[in-house]
């Protein structure tokens, strides 16, 4: 099923209100007069916000939740996600409660999750996850109004979420302000962790969830060696075995090139997400592949430069004024073809990356410490 048009969605709203007005006449009247409006969340309404994964998508969904809560501050917002993201979401002041479900390991908890959503009697449900599990949770949730999108299960929703949010005046893709905040305790820990590095610190996101999004390790070595010799402190960041191997190779090679050991700090796999956010926030800039920690750095307000090939920065919601991208020259850039054998990110040479980084850091994007803090 294709998404509803705005006209169809507004007609659905009126039908659910029980107006009994025939569709054609009512919809045309709405188009001409703009006098009728869809139902709007009120103070005290309970809202369920859904995004299970992955890390970067959950963070972007949280940013959208912040904008919704800013428009409707009187609602009580519960975020349904996987357990590994509880830490970073729990410290966000615009999220009032969490529901957790490990959809990868405990698929059988579907009925438990549905039971919990029913017990909480939600007035509104917004799913930013397009998979079938989110749609079925919506269908059985008993929420009064359900907004989301699934190509095959659209009947689980009353309206498409982006159309409803647009009608409510919520620009949920806006990223003009930092959306992921950090706690004072985590910022204190981050300062201690980074204390031995030079004053200029670079948050280097060296990994990615897909091989096609990895910038080659040999390029990272050349790029970071040049920046270390220019006085930058390098913070290697990521999580997972491929990133750990890459970080070890980068660190060992940089040492062999007489880069001071005090200029490189390997934090791959060593930071919980809330502390990772604080570390990113305490760095002068961030650079790296399109992956969760890059979303995290950009959403904390850290000036961020990303390397893009198979994905498109704007489509992935990197829309912050302090974000810039370096894009491959492949005519199919942004294709999302993860089966492509080409190593398209290798097209971004270390020299090209260095030029882009120097231009980037010359811009007025570097904020004073503490601008975006909880």
Instruction: State residue 37's pLDDT score.
Output: 52
Q: Is 301 left (phi over 0), alpha (psi -120 to 50) or beta?
A: left
Tell me if 144 sits within 8 A of 118, measured CB to CB. Answer: no
Reduced to 3 states, what is the DSSP secondary structure of residue 50? strand
* E-strand stretches of the chain: 46-50, 76-81, 97-100, 124-127, 145-147, 201-205, 233-237, 264-266, 285-289, 304-308, 323-327
Distance of alpha carbon 278 from alpha carbon 184, whole angstroms: 9
Provide the pairing of β-strand 97-100 with 76-81. parallel
Which of 197, 171, 212, 239 minimizes the C-alpha distance to 339? 212
Q: Which two tokens stand for residue 301?
A: 């307000």
Please identify which residue in the block is written with the tokens 């850290």: 302
Q: Look at the domain 6-167 and name its fold.
A: Rossmann fold (3.40.50)
Q: In what order do the strands lie in the sheet with 124-127?
A: 97-100, 76-81, 46-50, 124-127, 145-147
Q: What is the average pLDDT value for the chain, to the nearest integer?
A: 89
pLDDT digits (tens, 9 = 90+) for 25-84: 434 433 433 334 568 999 999 999 999 999 999 999 999 999 999 999 999 999 999 999
Which of 353, 201, 205, 206 minimizes the C-alpha distance to 284? 201
Q: How far is CA 92 from CA 19, 253, 258, 373, in A?
A: 39, 39, 42, 10
Please identify which residue in the block is written with the tokens 């615009």: 94
Which of 294, 299, 280, 277 minimizes the C-alpha distance to 63? 299
Buried-exposed string 211-232: b where 16+ CB fall within 10 A, e elsewhere? ebbbbeeebbbbbbbbbbeeeb
Q: Look at the domain 186-360 and name its fold.
A: Rossmann fold (3.40.50)
Tell me if 304 sits within 8 A of 297, measured CB to CB. Answer: yes
Distance of alpha carbon 225 from alpha carbon 260, whole angstroms: 10
Torsion angle of the four alpha carbons 218, 224, 230, 234, in this order, in degrees rounded to the nearest 10: -160
Q: Sorting pLDDT into bands at 50, 70 and 90, what band is 214?
A: very high
Q: Which two tokens stand for residue 97?
A: 């409660």
Provide the pairing of β-strand 46-50 with 76-81. parallel
Instruction: State residue 107's pLDDT score.
Output: 84
Mean pLDDT of 101-120: 94
Instruction: State residue 209's pLDDT score.
Output: 87
Domain boundaries, the chain: 6-167, 186-360
Q: Provide the angle, in degrees to the nearest 10, between the axes of the packed helices 23-33 and 6-17.
A: 120
ω into residue 54 within 30 of 0, thus cis?
yes
Same fold, 6-167 and 186-360: yes
pLDDT digits (tens, 9 = 90+) for 324-363: 999 999 999 999 999 988 889 999 999 999 999 999 999 8
pTM: 0.89
pLDDT digits (tens, 9 = 90+) for 234-282: 999 998 899 999 999 999 999 988 899 899 999 999 999 999 999 999 9
Mean pLDDT of 285-306: 97
Better pLDDT: 23 or 233: 233
Mean pLDDT of 134-149: 96
Torsion angle of the four alpha carbons 297, 298, 299, 301, in this order, in degrees rounded to the nearest 10: 90
Q: How far is CA 271 from CA 181, 329, 351, in A?
A: 16, 34, 30
Q: Which two tokens stand for residue 90?
A: 């729990």
């Amino acid at each position: 099923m294709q998404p509803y048009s705005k006209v169809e969605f507004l007609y659905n709203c009126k039908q659910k209100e029980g107006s009994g007005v025939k569709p054609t006449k009512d919809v045309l009247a709405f188009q001409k007069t703009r006098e009728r409006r869809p139902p709007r969340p009120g103070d005290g309404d309970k809202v369920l916000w859904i995004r299970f994964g992955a890390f970067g998508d959950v963070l972007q969904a949280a940013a959208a939740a912040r904008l919704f809560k800013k428009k409707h501050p009187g609602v009580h917002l519960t975020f349904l996600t996987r357990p590994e993201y509880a830490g970073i979401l729990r410290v966000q002041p615009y999220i009032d409660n969490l529901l957790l479900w490990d959809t990868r390991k405990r698929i059988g908890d579907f009925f438990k999750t549905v039971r919990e959503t029913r017990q909480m009697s939600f007035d509104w449900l917004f799913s930013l996850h397009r998979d079938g599990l989110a749609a079925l949770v919506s269908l059985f949730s008993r929420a009064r109004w359900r907004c989301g999108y699934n190509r095959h299960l659209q009947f689980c929703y009353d309206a498409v979420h982006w159309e409803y949010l647009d009608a409510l005046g919520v620009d949920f893709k806006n990223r003009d302000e930092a959306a992921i905040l950090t706690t004072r305790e985590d910022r204190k820990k981050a300062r201690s962790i980074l204390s031995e590095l030079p004053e200029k610190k670079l948050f280097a996101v060296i990994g990615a969830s897909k091989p096609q999004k990895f910038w080659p390790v040999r390029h990272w070595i050349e790029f970071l060696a040049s920046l270390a010799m220019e006085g930058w402190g390098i913070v290697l960041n990521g999580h997972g075995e491929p990133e750990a191997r890459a970080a070890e190779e980068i660190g060992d090679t940089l040492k062999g090139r007489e880069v001071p050991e005090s200029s490189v700090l390997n934090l791959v796999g060593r930071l919980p997400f809330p502390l990772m956010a604080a570390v990113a926030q305490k760095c002068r800039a961030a650079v790296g592949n399109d992956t969760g920690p890059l979303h995290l750095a950009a959403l904390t307000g850290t000036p961020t430069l990303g390397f893009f090939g198979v994905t498109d920065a704007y489509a992935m919601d990197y829309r912050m004024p302090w974000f810039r991208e370096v894009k491959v020259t492949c005519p199919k850039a942004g294709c999302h073809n993860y089966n492509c054998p080409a190593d398209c990110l290798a097209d971004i040479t270390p020299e090209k990356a260095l030029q882009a980084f120097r231009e980037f850091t010359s811009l007025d994007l570097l904020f004073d410490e503490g601008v975006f803090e909880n």
